Amino acid sequence: MFDLSGKTAVVTGAGSGIGEAIARLFARQGARVAVLDRDAVAAGAVASSIGGGAHAVPCDVSSAPAVAAAFEDVDRLLGRVDILVNNAGIPHVGDLEHTTEADLDRVYSVNVKGVYLCAQAAVARMLRQGGGVILNMASIASVVAVPDRFAYGMSKGAVLTMTLSIATDYVKKNIRCNCIMPARVHTPFVDGYLAANYPGREAEMLAQLSAYQPMGRMGRPDEVAALALYLCSDEAAFVTGAAYPIDGGVLAT
């Protein structure tokens, strides 16, 4: 089950964290993987450690020319796009009063425009080849308010509605589109954020972030990757337009 042999997957933001975990798992399941990240060094390190069938493709998803060039590289290196995982995203902490116009534009450009640009590039290729799968990384902030996440919640709400729209528009064209809605996931970004903003209080703040989930811990990147594998595999062939929480019980309580 969950065999991706013969498939090509493009994973954005795959230089670390959830994207890296997805790229590694998809490769283990037989996919050829394009590791997209704006950090070319990180993308190269991940692709190199995965080995044969993985290729690093530097890409700033907020730039239309960069996305076009990246997908041309994917065409040259891998020949097709069976799966796109729109994972690249950036955070922002702040309520309405503490979100500047520049903050809003920065979050929008990556979390919304980036999904749009990559999905558009992938759909063009999927239509030519007869189908494919798109998986977007949304958030529980897509459907519930998270304090001090005004811009981030806005962007992830847009990811959810883009997912539904793509699923509806292409359901007759053999293109499925779903999204995953994680709660907090423990990635290197979290550790870096705590070290930068709460020096000396990292353990205390980590405990607070963990307690937000009723299970008492944050998710792990590999747990999100496992759900991504299901949704991008043929075992999920009857699933489209769905939003899957993976949240340690947040939405249930």
Tokens of 53: 């069938």
Distance CA 246, CA 253 (A): 13
Which of 108, 116, 152, 244 is labelled catalytic? 152
> 172 is written with which tokens?
């007759």
The Cα diameter of the chain in Å comes to 55
Asked if 175 and 133 touch (Cβ cutoff 8 Å), the reply is: yes
Angle at 82 between CA 222 and CA 69, to 5 degrees: 95
The question of whether 152 is a catalytic residue gets the answer: yes
Give the Cα separation of 240 and 77 in Å (integer). Answer: 28
29: region left, alpha or beta (phi > 0 left; psi from -120 to 50 alpha): alpha
CB 229 within 8 A of CB 2: yes
CA atoms within 13 A on the CB side of 237: 8
Residue 30's closest CA among 88, 82, 86? Answer: 82
Task: List beta partners, residue 94.
Answer: 149
Alpha-carbon gap, residue 49 to 54, rounded angstroms: 9
Using an 8 Å Cβ cutoff, are 185 and 218 in contact? yes
Active site residues: 152
